[in-house]
């Protein structure tokens, strides 16, 4: 099953052009939803104003080489490994989900545009990456949902409590889960079931990409920008108009030794 391209089999009943247009429509939904959210919540205005304030209070002028180095390091370390979460379960679950989702989305585009249609060969490598991405997304996402969410692990809310902020992670998990089940039922020749799960797979994609304005989807674009701005502000001395760290040892008291820190 892992080496099976589910889109190639689907192309026997649905034109590959329809699949390609669907992917392009999802990309358009991301752009439109993010732009509308930026306008409504004024995120971009905040970043620009904050950058102007930081420039006025900077104590050091950074050269282009220094800026490029800081941005590259932030991208690789802070963003690429979600280092702001520290070393632990939350960071691991986020890394699994993040890279799983990237693999899942990229391989979907490659399979549909390059390996689906009449006269096009199959790619076992990209098919395996598609399934591996979906599996990693499920591993990281379900681990986070059932055991690591702040309101579950630290505030004692039940795992089935759902709020608007959960739209992104639930829709993402639905996409990966229904995609895997669709591929499995299709591989087993269970035609009726495969179309049911294909419908659920399409519906979950519409909710995920069509709900950008209401979900945390756009945070994937804001957080890298915020991390880069924060590290630039620390390097030029402006520190986002915050005072420097105290020149004294950290004192947390003996209570921190009694339990694992998890009260966010």
- Rounded average pLDDT over 161-182: 88
- The answer to whether residue 93 is domain-embedded is yes
- The answer to whether residue 135 is domain-embedded is yes
The pTM of this model reads: 0.79
- The answer to whether residue 264 is domain-embedded is no
- Residue with token string 């306008």: 39
What pLDDT sits at residue 153? 58
Specify the number of domains making up the chain: 1
Provide the residue range defining the domain that includes 43.
Answer: 6-236
Taking CA atoms, 127 is separated from 12, 64, 95, 176, in Å, by 17, 41, 21, 14
- The answer to whether residue 244 is domain-embedded is no
- Rounded average pLDDT over 216-225: 74
- The answer to whether residue 262 is domain-embedded is no
- The answer to whether residue 252 is domain-embedded is no
- The answer to whether residue 108 is domain-embedded is yes
> Which of these ranges, 80-94, 102-116, 125-139, has the smallest mean pLDDT?
80-94
| Residue 206, H or E segment | helix 191-210
- Rounded average pLDDT over 246-251: 68
- The answer to whether residue 250 is domain-embedded is no
Give the dihedral sign, CA 197/199/200/206: positive
């Amino acid at each position: 099953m892992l080496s099976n391209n589910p889109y190639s089999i689907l192309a026997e009943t649905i034109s590959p052009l329809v699949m390609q247009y669907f992917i392009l429509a999802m990309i358009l939904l991301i752009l439109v939803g993010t732009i509308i959210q930026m306008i409504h919540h004024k995120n971009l205005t905040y970043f620009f104003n904050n950058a102007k304030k930081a420039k006025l209070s900077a104590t050091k002028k950074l050269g282009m080489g220094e800026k490029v180095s800081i941005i590259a390091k932030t991208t690789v370390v802070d963003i690429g490994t979600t280092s702001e979460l520290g070393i632990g379960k939350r960071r691991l679950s986020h890394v699994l989900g993040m890279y799983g989702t990237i693999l899942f989305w990229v391989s979907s585009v490659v399979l549909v545009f390059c390996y689906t249609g009449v006269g096009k060969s199959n790619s076992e490598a990209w098919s395996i990456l598609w399934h591996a991405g979906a599996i990693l997304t499920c591993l990281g996402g379900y681990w986070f949902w059932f055991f690591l969410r702040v309101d579950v692990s630290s505030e004692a809310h039940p795992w089935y409590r759902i709020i608007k902020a959960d739209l992104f992670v639930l829709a993402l998990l639905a996409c990966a889960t229904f995609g895997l089940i669709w591929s499995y039922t299709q591989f087993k020749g269970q035609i009726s079931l495969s179309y049911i799960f294909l419908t659920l797979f399409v519906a979950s994609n519409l909710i995920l990409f069509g709900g950008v304005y209401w979900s945390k989807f756009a945070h994937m674009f804001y957080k890298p920008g915020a991390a880069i701005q924060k590290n630039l502000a620390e390097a030029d001395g402006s520190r986002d108009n915050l005072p420097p760290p105290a020149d004294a040892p950290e004192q947390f008291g003996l209570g921190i030794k009694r339990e694992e820190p998890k009260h966010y």
